[in-house]
Amino acid sequence: MIATGALQQIDKLLGPRGYLDSADDLKLYEYDGSVDKALPELVVFPRSAEDAAELVRIAHLHRIPIVGRGAGTGLSGGVIARAGGIVISFARMNRIVEIDLANERAVLEPGVVNLEITQAVERDGYFYAPDPSSQKACTIGGNVAENAGGPHTLAYGVTTNHVLGLETVLPDGTPMSIGGKAPDMPGYDLTGLLTGSEGTMALVTGIIVRLMRQPELVKTLLAIYDTVDDCADSVAEITARVITPAAVEMLDGVMLRMVEEATHAGYPMDAAAVLLIELEGLKEAVEEQAEQIVDACKCCRAREVRIARSAIERELLWKGRKNAFGAVGRVSPSYYVQDGVVPRTKVAPTLREIHRISEKYGLTISNIFHAGDGNMHPIILFNHHKPGELVRAKAAGDEILRFCIAQGGSITGEHGVGMEKMELIAAQFPEETLDMIARFKRLFDPECRLNPGKMLPTGKGCMEIRQPVGMQI
């Protein structure tokens, strides 16, 4: 229960339309894109960095847990209010503050939608590179919290490679500016430290990002295979030829049929798997690389390699890829998305292991993922109305991630640890590393009020939390 004094201060700061506290409204904020739920006690909507700082000061005074929230599209439980408390939604802090094309920079509030950055500059020949599949909905603040990636990060890198500076609020309400427009700022890289810290150290209220010039030519290819292994082998073959496409996405037969039925993007319904490959750069280089990639795919027994003949055809292929999760929703009442990473040479055996796990647990698992950097996204289909299916889905996901670790990979490439993988992170890092991460957390947040119950395993993280009514873990 939020203290009366705290609620009165918040009402004075934001007005009655600046927060939500009814049971029905709070239910809209009890979940994200993962499978867990917990009710916050209050949701507030600052309109400025000053509002956000004052809200954090009020929460500090009354010792209330805080969770920052963007669009709620995250897939690891990162914005679930495990301890109740206050969710600070940045939905109304959605201004593009400055576009500086001369220096290829943009200054943004955290609630700006990812795609809107590119839309603001594309007429001038620029774009913002990180492009999560949820880019039409996800916000830059959430991208910073989770260090989001996307299909084109094979060539361009993830969010941290494009964030130059941050405006933040520490857990006691103190504003802190780090980084800036200039490259290679002196001192410790606090911008890099906070990018991907999942809102556990500071709240981000402003972001400076790097803009990039649009390439001279873009080519999109679709390679079609009769076996999953041949498709996976092509990724290693392309890499062996020293070609780095902008994107290499893989869809298995289960996934591509769901996508094609939903979007009619032109994917072959009878294929075992496809690669969606995109090349960008100077015209001569792209043309030459396209020929090499066609040859590489055919050497790995691709039955056909298509090259998109127009911008419309290219956009349709990407529409199928970007709308894949929606396509799954037409087929299964629930699904659980995983985010393991393996070396590119381990993609084929990992897919075979995922198939084995699907049979073991009696669940359909489809695959759509960033094959170029080994970032696997197995999607586990289940029915949450059937007793035990969610438990089996979680167990299958856990087994997949443990296999990724055993292959020399990671439990997350872009979705974050959140509450979903906080126990599993102990299998990723030794005790000494976990202790150091915990020390950083306590340095910034000694009272453990900022997004508690995330990132670190029980015993290392802030697990002295209240579990409010409605908590479902």
Q: Which CATH architecture has domain 96-213?
A: 2-Layer Sandwich (3.30)
pLDDT at position 467 over 50: no
203-210/304-307 β-pairing: unpaired
The domain locations on the chain are 96-213, 217-326, 332-406
CA atoms of 248 and 460, how far apart (whole Å): 37
Burial zone of 204 (CB within 10 Å; 0-12 exposed, 13-18 middle, 19+ buried)? buried
Q: How far apart are CA 337 and CA 301, in angstroms?
A: 30
Going by DSSP bridges, is the β-strand pair 175-179/163-169 parallel, antiparallel, or unpaired? antiparallel
- The listed CATH number (1.10.10.10, 3.40.640.10, 1.20.1260.10, 3.30.70.2740) that belongs to domain 332-406: 3.30.70.2740
Instruction: For residue 163, give the nearest of 134, 132, 192, 124 by alpha carbon.
Output: 192
Closest C-alpha to 161, from 192, 203, 120: 192
Give yes or no for residue 302 having a pLDDT over 80. yes
What's the chain's Rg over C-alpha atoms?
Answer: 22
Same fold, 217-326 and 332-406: yes
* pLDDT value at 473 more than 90: no
pTM: 0.94
Query: What beta strand segments (E) does 60-162 contain?
Result: 66-69, 86-89, 96-100, 105-108, 126-127
Q: Which residues pair with 365 in a beta bridge?
A: 380
pLDDT in tens, 345-377: 999 999 999 999 999 999 999 999 999 999 999
> In the prediction, which pLDDT does 463 show?
55
Could you give the angle at the alpha carbon of 400 between the alpha carbons of 395 and 404, nearest 5°?
145
pLDDT of residue 282: 96
Q: Alpha-carbon distance 407 to 218, whole Å? A: 34
Per-residue pLDDT tens over the stretch 108-134: 999 999 999 999 999 999 999 999 999
Phi, psi of 369, deg, nearest 5: -160, 170
CA gap 364, 382 in Å, rounded: 8
Per CATH, which fold does 217-326 belong to?
Alpha-Beta Plaits (3.30.70)
Whether 470 shows a pLDDT value over 80: the answer reads: no
